[in-house]
Amino acid sequence: MQFDFRKRVDREFIQREILRFKASERRRLMLLGEDYFAGRQDILYRKRAVIGETGELEPAYNLPDNKAVDNQYRKMVNQKTNYLLGRPPALRADDADYHAKLMKIFDRGFMRMMKNIAKDAYNHGIAWICPYYEKGALKFKRLKGYEVIPGWRDFEHTCLDYAIRIYEVIDYSGGGETVIEKAEVFDGAGVHYFEIENDKPVGVPPYGRAYITAEGNGLSGGYNWEKIPLVAFKRDGDETPLISSVKSLQDGLNLILSNFWNAMEEDPRNTLLVLVNYDGENLGEFRRNLAAYGAVKVRSVDGAAGDLKTLRVEVNAENYREIIGIFKKAVIENAMGFDAKDSRIFGSGGNPNQMNIQSMYSDIDLDANETETEFQASLTELMWFVNRSIEHGGGTVSENAEFIFNRDMMLNEEQIIDNCVKSLNILSEETVVANHPWANDIPGEIKRKAAQK
C-alpha cells in the first residue's frame, strides 16, 4: 500500500512554525549577517538630518551625505574561513580500499562546498548539508541557515525529529517573473512538498517521496534513511552568528568614515557664513549666487562697511585616523581574528619566529578550536550517511576514518620542518608527515616515500 503524503503532516503546525521562525530574532540576525557580508549595511540607509524650526530632526538635502562602507566584517569572515579551511582537510583511514572510496566522495567539489558551509556558519551561526542520491550516486546539497527550521529532539541540538525548509523560486511560466515560496518538510516518512499561499502551506504534486528511490539489482521503490538527512554545521555550541559580536563596531567605523568624508566636502561655500550689509533679497538667493559665481555683493549702510566672514571648524584628520584605528582594532578583537600588520609578529629583533606568530594568532586559534570541534562532530554524522551508502554498494567500511584540519597559519616553515626531522626517532612516520607543512595526502606521501626507498 502506497503511503499517502497528503494526509501525513499537520499543516497548521507547519504554518505556526514558519511564521514563528520568520519573525524570530534568530533569523533576523542570519539575514543581517548575509547582508553585512555582501556590503548591504545600515550606513547606506542613513539620511543626514539637521534640527528644523520645530526642534525636530529634518532631512538636510543641501549638505554632503556620503555613505562609506569599510567592510571589516567580510574581511573577518573570509579570514576565519580561510584560516580553518583555506587548506583542504586531510582524510586519514587505515584501510586503503576504504580510503580510496572516501576520497572519491569527499573530492575537491566537496571541499569547496565545505568552505562555503564555513562562511554560512559564520554568517548564520549554523549551516546545513543534505545528503541525497542522484543517478545512483551520493551527492551533497548546501542549505542556508535561514532556510531551515530544525525540530530538535534534544536540548543539545544533536538529533533531529523533523525539519522544515523554506525557500523561494522564480516562475517564468506566465510570461513574467513570479516569486513562489516553497516549503519542504523532512520527517521519518520522507520529504513532503508545499507552496505557501497567504501564509498557509498548500500541498503540491508529487506531495511527497521517500529519500531514496532505487530501481534494478532486485530493488524497487522508495527507501528512507534511519535518520533525517540533514547535518548541521555550527559556528559554536550556541549557534550564534558572528555579526552579533561586531555589528555596532562595524556601524561605528562606517559612520566615522562617512562623517570625515562629509567634513572634507564642506568647503567655504557651505560652511557657516556671517553677512554684514548683504546686497540681496534672501539667504536662498545668496546661496545661489555663491554657488553659481563664487562671489557675493555687499554694501555700506550709514557709514558701516559691508563684509562677509566665515566661521570654520578645522577638521583634524589625525583625530579621525585614531578613531578609525580604534574601531578596526575593536572589530578584529571582538571577531577573534588577527591583524596581519601586528607588530608582535617581528618581536624585538625584527625577525619573525614561531612564538611571535602564535601569539598573533592566539584569538583566532581559540575560536577555530570551537568551530573545529563542532565541524568534526558534524563530519562524523555525515560520515554515517557515507558509510551506509558504501555498504549498500557492497563495500566495507571502517570506523576509524578521520579528518585532519590543516589551519592556514603563517608559518616559519624552516623551524617546523626542523622540529619534524628531530621527531622522526620519537613519533611515527605518519604523525610526522601529518604535521609537515608541505604534506596534504598523508597515505600517498608515505607510499611515495616507501617507493622511493
> Which pLDDT belongs to residue 446?
83
* Cα–Cα distance measured from residue 42 to residue 164, given in angstroms and rounded to the nearest whole number: 30
pTM comes to: 0.81
Full pLDDT tens readout for the chain, 453 residues? 445 666 667 899 999 999 999 999 999 999 999 999 999 999 999 988 877 667 777 787 778 889 999 999 999 999 999 999 988 898 888 888 999 999 999 999 999 999 999 999 999 999 999 999 988 889 999 999 999 999 999 999 999 999 999 999 998 887 788 999 999 999 998 999 999 999 999 999 989 999 987 655 555 567 889 999 999 999 999 999 999 999 999 999 999 999 998 888 876 445 556 667 666 656 666 666 665 555 666 677 666 666 666 656 566 788 889 999 999 999 999 999 988 776 666 555 555 666 767 777 888 999 999 999 999 999 999 999 999 999 988 888 887 888 989 887 665 567 678 888 888 888 888 888 877 877 767 777 888 888 888
Residue in the structure block whose three cell numbers are 515560496: 181
- Rounded to whole angstroms, the Cα distance separating 21 from 72 reads 29
Cβ atoms 193, 204 nearer than 8 A: yes
Cα–Cα separations (whole angstroms), residue 176 to 57, 173, 179, 388, 436: 42, 7, 10, 44, 57
Radius of gyration of the chain (CA): 31
What pLDDT is attached to residue 114? Answer: 96
pLDDT at 352: 62
- Retrieve residue 162's grid coordinates: 523533523
Pair (256, 282) in one structural domain: yes
From residue 322, give the alpha-carbon distance in Å to each of 251, 319, 325.
Answer: 16, 5, 5
Domain assignment of residue 263, yes or no: yes
User: Domain for residue 171, yes or no?
Assistant: yes
Unique residue bearing C-alpha cell 571648524: 313
- pLDDT at position 351: 58
Of 15, 4, 87, 28, which is closest to residue 244 (Cα–Cα)? 28
pLDDT digits (tens, 9 = 90+) for 196-242: 999 999 999 989 999 987 655 555 567 889 999 999 999 999 999 99
Residue 49 lies in a domain: no
Residue 161 belongs to some domain of the structure: yes
Distance, CA of 21 to CA of 346 (rounded, Å): 49
Last residue of a domain, one of 326, 351, 376: 351
Distance CA 418, CA 153 (A): 50
Tell me: do 19 and 138 sit in the same domain.
yes
Q: What per-residue confidence (pLDDT) applies to 29?
A: 97
Q: How many domains does the chain have?
A: 3
SS3 at position 215: strand
Q: Is 268 found in the same domain as 201?
A: no
H/E element holding 133? strand 126-134
Domain presence at residue 64 = no
**H or E segment and range at residue 206:** strand 200-209
For 266-287, the pLDDT digits (tens) are 764 455 566 676 666 566 666 6
Whether residue 25 is found in the same domain as residue 154: yes
Residues 25 and 101 in one domain: yes
- The β-bridge partners of 184 are 165, 193
Domain match, 252 and 224 both: no
Residues 264, 300 within the same domain? yes
| pLDDT reported for residue 328 | 94
Residue 44 domain-assigned (yes or no): no
Q: Do 237 and 247 reside in the same domain of the chain?
A: no
- In the DSSP assignment, the letter for residue 304 is B
Residues 96 and 233 placed together within one structural domain of the fold: yes
Yes or no: say if 82 and 408 are a contact pair by the CB < 8 Å rule.
Answer: yes
Q: Which domain holds residue 449?
A: 412-453
98 and 215 both lie in a single domain:
yes
Q: Locate cell 604535521: which residue? A: 435
Listed residue (271, 282, 335, 277) closest to 307, CA to CA: 277
- Grid cell locating 283: 539667504
Residue 169: CB atoms within 10 Å: 10
Is 50 part of any domain? no
Same domain as 110, residue 217: yes
What does the pLDDT read at residue 1? 40
Both 138 and 76 in a single domain?
Answer: yes
Residue 54 lies inside a defined structural domain of this protein: no
| Nearest-angstrom CA–CA distance, 441 and 443 | 6
135/167 Cα distance (integer angstroms): 24
